[in-house]
Amino acid sequence: MLVALAGGVGAARFLRGLVGVVPPEDVTAIVNTADDDTFHGLHVSPDIDSVVYTLAGASDPVRGWGLEGESYTVLDSLERYGAETWFRLGDRDLATHLYRTERLREGATISTVTAEIAAAWGVRSRLLPMTDQSVSTRIEVEGSGGRPIELRMQEWFVRERCEPTVLNVGFDGADVAVAAPGVLEALESAETILICPSNPVISIGPILAIPGVREVLASRRRRVVGVSPIVGGAPVRGPADRLMRALGIEVTCAGVARTYSEICGTLVIDAVDEALAPRVEAAGVRAVVADTLMRSPEVAAGLARNALEAVA
Amino acid sequence: MLVALAGGVGAARFLRGLVGVVPPEDVTAIVNTADDDTFHGLHVSPDIDSVVYTLAGASDPVRGWGLEGESYTVLDSLERYGAETWFRLGDRDLATHLYRTERLREGATISTVTAEIAAAWGVRSRLLPMTDQSVSTRIEVEGSGGRPIELRMQEWFVRERCEPTVLNVGFDGADVAVAAPGVLEALESAETILICPSNPVISIGPILAIPGVREVLASRRRRVVGVSPIVGGAPVRGPADRLMRALGIEVTCAGVARTYSEICGTLVIDAVDEALAPRVEAAGVRAVVADTLMRSPEVAAGLARNALEAVA
């Protein structure tokens, strides 16, 4: 059994590659839910949905997030009521949030609802939210008068377009959260544990902040292989650079290696970063060089194969 | 000031006519909410929405209910999750239900939310839900094994297409409900009170079942004028005939007159029913003959003018 720690789009593309080289049923993904938020009264789980839609082959191939062929009739209609519509929820996507919200209100856990949604899309891998409790990423940024302001992840990322300078990052509720059923067990029994090429601060970070996760990963460090989301000194997509810099992490694969060094024995780095391999290894992490830019599912499959072979 | 008791589509069309002959600001509509129901976790108020959309000139002119130019992307997408989609909620319409549901969850009353929704659509008349509490129409029908089954209004009307034979009708919660703010005051001070051509059993009936409403109407009976929704022995639209028959009410304008006789001094009946005028008057209700088939807003305006003149 293979277990992967996953954030959003980068993880989704990597997992699609992974299920091209191993049976999908052999894969368990533990997915970040600290970016979950409520819009128009609906519970939205951006990372879970990115993974589901991508594994179902239904994600928008250009944007990377959301569903292919979306319309925005509901969102546009909400403007009449003065609703904030900067978080672009498509009509097809809204059905998922309606279903999730109703099930949660009925008392179902996010684990149960995630499994139901994945099944509805024909996803054969097991998707586990990191926790069934509410954990929420908070981005502390510089306010106009010099006073720090706390933003929710989507507020900073989507509404503010990552412009406010980040001072700190926290995960509200993580310290008292309990890993979702199966999470620690999957990590303990996995043949290989993959850390997907996701934002190390706000995608993988929240998973590691769930009590027990970091400890079991540390105890299985030799079976853990990560894929650096930083290539040539910049994230492949998303705002990892701004967040890493704010936390004093060097924006290179060596910085990623140092961040993961306690929990990850091997890091796959991109060919363009081959010269940084000695600095990765200086952090006590074995460096494996591969093509990490997932331009197609085939490249992603090759990357997944390389990652698996690195700890075979 | 004019006050109208209103159900759904028939009332909406009548009110659109009314605001063509009097200033919209002078009209207060007290709207049935006993057909309200929850679909996909969203609070739907069919009669309020019919009135709002029609007064805004945005209702579907063919169906009569819902919005013009609707799409059903969300509803069709919900089928993937096994949701029941017999209640056809359009994408544009869903924005209204999302807004209403979120506001109610924030603690707003249905009165407040109705006023907000009406304002968002530019409706200048005052729309009052009959109550801020939950009142729910229950249709008792014959079950397959001879045992009675209780259905919610939309289950019987939409899902079951009015096919199960009706045994009885009740309004759950009406006995302990309180008229919404302004309802009794509006009825007490109104120059004229109109009973729109709505289903007397399940559209006007629930409003009359709210404690205090029937009493104030009875005390102002001479200022109350109704419009018969029954023309030529059948309802203009909807299932009033089946419901009236189940309750032993004759399906004619004379049956309507007897139902309303305690609270309504004058009934406008259609020209085709002129011969029934003596039977209406035998119930103690003055009969006024007019063209009541609202084929256009202009005809509706003429009908409204006739109704107002009948008690002028």
Q: B71 in contact with A at a CB cutoff of 8 Å?
A: yes
CB atoms B41 and A116 under 8 Å: no
Find the closest chain A residue to B96 by CA distance: A78
DSSP B123: -
Asked if B148 and B236 sit in the same domain, the reply is: no
Shared-domain flag, residues B103 and B195 = no
Supply the mean pLDDT for chain A: 96
pLDDT value for B146: 79
CA-nearest residue to B101 within chain A is A41
- Same-domain check for residues B204 and B281: yes
The whole-angstrom separation of Cα B130 and Cα B208 is: 9
Task: Say yes or no for a CB contact (<8 Å) between B92 and A83.
Answer: no
Do residues B117 and B167 both lie within one domain? no
Report the distance separating Cα A308 and Cα A196, nearest Å: 12
**Chosen from A99, A104, A106, A121 to mutate, greatest number of chain B CBs within 10 A:** A99
Residues of A whose CB is below 8 A from B96: 77, 81
B201 and B160 in a single domain? The answer is: no
The answer, for B83 touching chain A at a CB cutoff of 8 Å, is: yes
Question: Does the pLDDT at position A80 exceed 90?
Answer: yes
Residue B95 and residue B152 in one domain: no
How many A/B residue pairs have CB atoms within 8 Å? Answer: 81
Q: Is residue A294 assigned to a domain? A: no
Does B12 map to a domain? Answer: no
- Domain match, B191 and B121 both: no
The pTM for the full model equals 0.94
In tens, the pLDDT along A28-71 reads: 999 999 999 999 999 999 999 999 999 999 999 888 789 999 99
With a cut of 90, say whether residue A282 has pLDDT above it. yes
Q: Does residue A30 lie in a domain region?
A: no
Closest CA to B208 of B38, B7, B1: B7
Looking up residue A66, the CATH number of its domain turns out to be: 1.10.8.240
CATH number of the domain where residue B219 is located: 3.40.50.10680
The number of domains in chain A is: 1
Task: Return the pLDDT at A65.
Answer: 82
Return the axis-axis angle of helices A46-55 and A9-18, rounded to nearest 10°: 30
B71 with A91: Cβ contact below 8 A: yes
Task: Please tell me the distance in Å from B163's CA to the nearest CA on chain A.
Answer: 29
* Whether residue B295 sits in one domain with residue B185: yes
Shared-domain flag, residues B66 and B160: no
- Decide which of B94, B129, B164 is a domain's last residue: B129
- The answer on B244 and B152 residing in a single domain is no
Q: Would you say residue A21 lies in a domain?
A: no
Evaluate if residue A20 carries a pLDDT over 90: yes
Residue B78 domain-assigned (yes or no)? yes
Asked if B110 contacts B45 with a C-beta cutoff of 8 angstroms, the reply is yes
Which H/E stretch holds residue A218?
Answer: helix A213-219
Q: How many CA atoms lie within 13 A of B73 on its CB side?
A: 19
Distance from CA of A24 to the nearest CA of B (A): 21
Does residue B250 sit in the same domain as residue B167? no
The verdict on a CB contact (< 8 Å) between A81 and B120 is yes
Of A144-148, A242-246, B31-35, B243-247, minimum mean pLDDT range? A144-148
B 100-139 residues inside an 8 A Cβ radius of A = 101-102, 105, 116-117, 120-121
ipTM: 0.91
Listing from the earlier edge strand, what are the strands of the sheet with A126-129? Answer: A126-129, A27-31, A2-6, A192-195, A224-227, A266-270, A286-290
C-alpha torsion B52→B55→B58→B60, nearest 10: 90
Same domain, B153 and B230: no
Pick the residue from chain B with its C-alpha nearest to A80: B120
For A70, the closest chain B residue by CA position comes to B73
Contact A95 B80 (CB under 8 A): yes
Nearest alpha carbon to residue A229 among A268, A264, A262, A194: A268
Structure tokens at A255: 């910085």
Partner-chain residue, chosen from B74, B80, B121, that has the shortest CB–CB distance to A91 = B74
Q: What does each C-alpha distance from B218 to A45, A308, B30, B204, B288 come to in angstroms?
A: 55, 82, 16, 15, 20
- Residue B91 contacts A, CB cutoff 8 Å: yes
Residue B247: its pLDDT value, please? 95
Beta bridge partners of B172: B136
- At residue A143, the pLDDT reads 86
Hey, CA dihedral for A124, A125, A131, A134, is it positive or negative? negative
The low-confidence residues of chain B, meaning pLDDT below 50, are none
- Please, which residues have CB within 8 angstroms of residue B115's CB and are 6 or more apart in sequence? B126, B127
Residue A212 corresponds to which amino acid? G
Look at A74 and B91 and tell me if their CB atoms are within 8 Å. Answer: yes
User: How is chain B split among helix, strand and coil, in percent rounded to 5?
Assistant: 45, 20, 35
Q: Residue A146 pLDDT > 90, yes or no? A: no
The pLDDT of residue A115 is 98
Which of A83, A76, A223, A208 is closest to A137 using CA atoms?
Answer: A208
Residue B2: what pLDDT?
98
- pLDDT of amino acid A16: 97
Q: Do A116 and B81 touch (CB under 8 A)?
A: yes
A302 assigned to some structural domain: no
Residue B59 lies in a domain: yes
Percent of chain A scoring above 90 in pLDDT? 95
Residue A61, pLDDT score: 84
All residues of chain A having their beta carbon less than 8 Å from the beta carbon of residue B120 are 80-82
- Collapsed DSSP state (helix, strand, coil) of residue B103: helix
Q: What pLDDT score was predicted for residue B231?
A: 96
pLDDT of A259: 98
What contacts B275, CB < 8 A, 6 or more positions away?
Answer: none
| pLDDT attached to residue A237 | 87
Q: Is residue A108 part of a domain?
A: yes
For residue B204, what are the domain limits? Answer: 176-310
What is the reported pLDDT for B39? 96
CA dihedral B2, B5, B8, B12 (to 10 degrees): -10
Cα→Cα distances A10→A6, A234, B141, B189, Å: 8, 14, 55, 65
